[in-house]
Amino acid sequence: MILVIIAWIIAILAIVAAIYAVETKDLLSSAIAMGIASLVVSIMFLVLQAPDVAITEASIGAGLTMAVFVYAIGKTKRWEE
């Protein structure tokens, strides 16, 4: 029962981070929120006992993709018009 509650809390955190990433006008904040959402999803994969998928999601989704986004935002404007 406690595992189900933890899974629901993690799912709600991922949804909140994803909605914030879509709704914010600051592109850097959006990229960071997407990284946080990806990290929360990787924690969900750990709860679901899929550590290989969790490691891949954390390294590619939260790490590499966010780094590429931050680099690209640094080369362009930070704010959406």
CA of 8: how far to CAs of 13, 24, 59, in Å? 9, 24, 23
Partnered with residue 79 across adjacent β-strands are: 26
What is the rounded CA–CA span in Å between residue 55 and residue 59?
6
Task: Give the pTM.
Answer: 0.84
31 with 73: CB under 8 angstroms? yes
Residues contacting residue 24 through CB under 8 Å, at least 6 positions apart: 30, 33
Per residue in 27-52, pLDDT (tens digit) is 899 999 999 999 999 999 999 999 99
- Helix (H) or strand (E) run with residue 54 in it: helix 51-56
Per residue in 56-68, pLDDT (tens digit) is 999 998 889 989 9
